[in-house]
Amino acid sequence: MIHIYMIREVIIKQTNFRLLIKSLIYRIIVLFITYYFTYKYSGSHREALHLSLSIEFIQFIWYILYEKMWNNIKWGMYDSNHIVNIKKG
């Protein structure tokens, strides 16, 4: 009899620090995009900067909360210690 062991899924949760850094990098990239289009629309660097920073601050907070929420939802996640035993023979 041959036993084949397969690990179905490996779940890796990210640390809060990783989540924060990942979110910051993403939001900085989006900040530049928002600034660019806001400046093209308004023609004012000051107005574009103020509006872009305000929008990005609000979106950053909501993004962190959203990610934290999904990290605690078990749907679609598997136990990383779960091993499936397939018997052949």
Going residue by residue through the chain, which has 89 residues, state the pLDDT in tens, using 9 for 90 and above. 444 445 555 556 677 788 788 888 988 999 999 999 999 999 999 999 999 999 989 988 998 898 888 877 777 665 555 544 445 54
SS3 of the chain: CEEEEEECCCCCCCCHHHHHHHHHHHHHHHHHHHHHHHHHHHCCHHHHHHHHHHHHHHHHHHHHHHHHHHHCCCCCCCCCCCEEEEEEC
Do 8 and 82 meet the contact criterion of CB atoms below 8 Å apart? yes
pLDDT attached to residue 67? 82
pLDDT attached to residue 23? 82
pLDDT attached to residue 50? 95
Domain boundaries, the chain: 2-88
